[in-house]
Amino acid sequence: MQTELHETLRDTATGRRAEQILRTCVHCGFCNATCPTYAITGDELDGPRGRIYLIKEVLESGEGNPTAQRHLDRCLTCRACETTCPSGVAYGELLEVGRGLVEESQRRGWFDRAVRGWLLAVVPRPRRFRRWARLGGWFRWLLPGRLRDALPRLMRVRLGELTSHSRKVLVLQGCVQQVATPQANAALTRLLDARGLTVVHAEHEACCGSLNLHLGEHDRALTNIRQNIDALTPHLEDVEAVISTASGCGVTIKDYPRLLENDAEYAPRAAALARKFQDAAEFVTGESLGCRKVEEFERVAWQAPCTLQHGQQITGVVERLLAGAGYVLVNVKEAHACCGSAGTYSLLQAELSAELRDRKLGALCAERPDVIATANVGCQTHLASASAVPVRHWLELLQ
């Protein structure tokens, strides 16, 4: 792809990297075949190839425009296109740049600004999020459908008596996860405790930065990331691994070295953290823990979050763990497809999100499973909001 970057970007690291990515695209369109939004709208600008052209236009003009804003907003960042692309186009990284430039130069309407401002102020802060969730629970029946669906049902998790072991791992609590689905981390804690590993937490753990990245707030994301590195680094020498049970957090943390590559102070610390970091599926598999299934369920429909299969490129791992524990995994068509959660997408793009969710539930439930298993808090709560079949984190299905 031929490019002519705007003079304000031409000699910057961001501009050079964006140009490099653009020039790997050969316009083949294979990406559109696996793009969830293109499948729904049929609009070229709602597919990766069309969005790449929009980003190219933004890079060459030096500013965003309403068309680019609309169609970049509608991207789920599922990165199925990266899995499909024969040329290795780093679409997710390019989208980051495009969204950031559009956010800087294209002013949004007051309502859109208010909603995004609220999300940025509340969701990454567990105490605030818990207070709002509790308040929303009191008035759930008054809320619009999309807010009612997104509102987590607060629950208390009791771990019982745990043993102190010499082997230690640090498990991230996650900002949304510790409020919406704390049972996932509780399940991992019990599993590891029974096999001689102690789970510790970082007291000042911060948001991983993914929320800000998705909303085009690159500088705020880097602030979150540095805060998180500051909180986690002191623990690295004492633990065997840093683990996340939320694949959405994991894909961002694994990307810390790239995001901070030009920061002389934080780049080596980001690399050290990334070397210690594992998704829960990687760690459990590596330890060969010999898990067993719980008695409640027999047939499982596995929903692989996009952040796990396309972002982290972890495929087949959870399925083997579940099958090895004794479950029957039912066939799920279009397993690559996104469920429509995508962080704040279910609120900001409610209609597209709901249609994708319903399509995904149709595929997941076609073979009449007893339970749907997934690996990310967003997918779990989004699917559960409309599913007659229980939706659980896969760790809850092991003992």
Residue type, 377: V
Q: Which of 12-26, 75-89, 126-140 is the least confident region?
A: 126-140
pLDDT of 229-273, one tens digit each? 999 999 999 999 999 999 999 999 999 999 999 999 999 999 999
7-105 and 291-397 agree in CATH topology: no
Instruction: Classify domain 291-397 at the CATH topology level.
Output: Rossmann fold (3.40.50)
DSSP string, 282-335: HHHHHHT----B-TT--EEEE---HIIIIIS---SHHHHHHHHHTPEEPP-TTT
Q: pLDDT category, 142, cuts 50, 70, 90?
A: low
Residues of 308-327 as b/e, b for ≥16 C-beta within 10 angstroms?
A: bbbbbebeebbbebbeebeb
What pLDDT was estimated at residue 143?
Answer: 59
Cα separation, 187 vs 250, in Å, equals 18
Tokens standing for residue 300:
């499982």
Pairing state of beta strands 391-393 and 328-329?
A: unpaired
Instruction: Specify the CATH architecture of the domain 7-105.
Output: Orthogonal Bundle (1.10)
**Is residue 19 a contact partner of residue 91, using CB atoms and an 8 Å limit?**
no
Structure tokens at 336: 């690559």
Which pLDDT tens digit goes with each residue over 325-346? Answer: 999 999 999 999 999 999 889 8
Phi, psi at 342, each rounded to 5°: 50, 50
| DSSP string covering 207-261 | --SHHHHHTT-HHHHHHHHHHHHHHHGGGGGG-S-EEES-HHHHHHHTTHHHHTT
Closest to 341 measured CA to CA, from 333, 327, 330, 352: 352
* Domain positions in the chain: 7-105, 291-397
Could you write out the DSSP letters of every residue in 236-251? Answer: GGG-S-EEES-HHHHH
Write the pLDDT tens digit of every residue in 208-226.
Answer: 999 999 898 999 999 999 9
Assigned token pair, 238: 């004492």
Token readout for 253 is: 């943390």
